[in-house]
Amino acid sequence: MAKKLNRVIFTCGGTAGHVNPAIALAQLMHRKNPGTEFLFVGAERGLEKDLIPKAGYRFRTVHISSFHRSLKPKEIEHNLVSVGNLVRAPHEARKILREFPPDVVVGTGGYASYPMVKAAARAGIPTAVHESNMVPGLTTEMLEPFADRVMVGFESCRQHYRHPEKVIVTGTPVRGDFFELTREEAKKKLGIDSGRLLLVSFWGSLGASGMNEQMADFLALEAAKEPFCHIHGAGEAGYPVLCRLLRERGVDLAAHPALEVREYIYDMAAVMRAADLVICRAGASTISELTALGVPALIVPSPYVTNNHQEKNARALEKAGGAVVLLEKDSSGQALFQAACGILHDEKRRAGMARAMAALGIRDATERIYQTVLDLCQ
């Protein structure tokens, strides 16, 4: 008889890419067994303190913070605080385990995962870690000796681990609404003629201001001919700046209905599903969505992330044939426009990229993670 999970601790934080997979898994576990209790543990100042309560789950914190590689007085002060947190966090983690004894502890990334998973492993509680990026982050590297299972997004990730026998390929969860529509249905919902190609572009918060300047040149080139439909998410801070830059270039978006600049793409599921090509960064959540949907991509990885993991994510997609990678130092509005046109105007190439991307995708990632955790607890 399969073991019933009564209590589960998820520990995660730092970015939505770490938090959302845990929330998706908790939602699936609740559907499978409504009686399961959940507790999320994160850092006191992380994004998780807002996302998790908003999703309706109990949330507790441990004191944990990063280390900065700088000898500036402010950075030294920060690192001294981080050393103090390293001393405090294990005690806090053990206290949480005593007050909420779980059947399993699942870490999905972020510094807060380290003290909780390590404390659970030392207490003999089953542990699992999920890594969304192609290469393990620092937290995952440190937890590999302690975790019973390491769950990864792609088969090619296995080579980066010292204990490949612990590694299970599960994929990374993608929201279910991404699969509700066909491309044609999504285009119809967006009011786009199904005969026209759709380009979608957006940047993350890191370095987005510089990339939005490039998009002003890109959109100005598009305005001359409107060769395809284009939806661009500029971000809250970037939107007014991009609109000003377009006016300076003589582009009135009202006169170009095929070109749409938004502050934020709230209906991302429909927009991504309708896309024939996406221009974006290479965060873990984004690459999971691209591969699950089988959408070709033109990727400019952020150079501002730890361990350059975005370029490593992007290169893996490029090697498989699903993406074209352009480094930010080589990128410009003109270069992006030429690269995008080269893909969108070549139907055979675009179809091949879509097949390569889809071959990497794992649509049932949440179910695979659930089964891995369940098997671990037998």
Render pLDDT for 209-223 as a digit per residue (tens, 0 to 9). 889 999 999 999 999
pLDDT reported for residue 66: 57
- Examine the pLDDT at 170 and tell me if it is beyond 80: yes
What is the C-alpha radius of gyration for the chain, rounded to an integer number of angstroms? 22
Contacts of 276 (CB under 8 A, 6+ apart): 183, 197, 198, 199, 228, 295, 296, 344, 350
Continuous segment of H or E residues that includes residue 298: strand 297-299
Q: What is the largest CA-CA distance in the chain?
A: 69
Which CATH architecture fits 179-360?
3-Layer(aba) Sandwich (3.40)
The pair of structure tokens assigned to 154 is 């792609």
- For residue 77, the model assigns a pLDDT of 62
Fold of 7-174+363-376: Rossmann fold (3.40.50)
* Residue 53, token pair as written in the block: 């309560």
pLDDT at 345 over 50: yes
How far apart CA 156 and CA 133 sit, in angstroms, is 11
- Residue by residue, DSSP assigns 219-285 as HHHHHHH--SEEEEE--TTHHHHHHHHHHHTT--GGG-TTEEEES--TTHHHHHHH-SEEEE---HH
Reference 129, options 112, 157, 115, 109; nearest CA is 109
Report whether pLDDT(194) > 80. no
Confidence of residue 1 (pLDDT cuts 50, 70, 90): very low
Task: Say if residues 52 and 19 touch (Cβ distance below 8 Å).
Answer: yes
- State pTM to two decimals: 0.85
- Per-residue pLDDT for 159 more than 60? yes
Alpha helices in the chain (DSSP H): 16-32, 48-54, 73-99, 113-122, 138-143, 183-189, 208-225, 238-248, 268-274, 284-293, 309-320, 333-344, 347-360, 365-376
Q: Is the pLDDT assigned to residue 42 strictly greater than 60?
A: yes
User: Does the pLDDT value for residue 2 go beyond 80?
Assistant: no
In this chain, the answer to whether the domains covering 7-174+363-376 and 179-360 adopt an identical fold is: yes
Distances in Å between the Cα of 12 and the Cα atoms of 179, 229, 368 are 26, 38, 19
For 81-122, write each residue's pLDDT tens digit.
Answer: 555 555 578 899 999 999 999 999 999 988 889 999 999 999
Average pLDDT, the chain: 91
Contact 136, 40 (CB under 8 A): no
How many C-beta atoms lie closer than 10 Å to residue 99's C-beta? 9
**Rounded to whole angstroms, how far apart are CA atoms 339 and 326?**
9
Give me the pLDDT at residue 205, please.
Answer: 63
User: In this model, does residue 78 exceed pLDDT 50?
Assistant: no
pLDDT in tens, 306-341: 789 899 999 999 999 999 999 999 999 999 999 999
Contact assessment for residue 20 and residue 365, using Cβ atoms and an 8 Å cutoff: no
User: What CA dihedral angle connects 25, 29, 30 and 32, to 10 degrees?
Assistant: 140
Quick one: tokens of 123? 């207490």
Domain boundaries in the chain?
7-174+363-376, 179-360
Q: Scanning the structure block, which residue is given the tokens 């699936």?
A: 28
Token code pair at residue 148: 């019973």
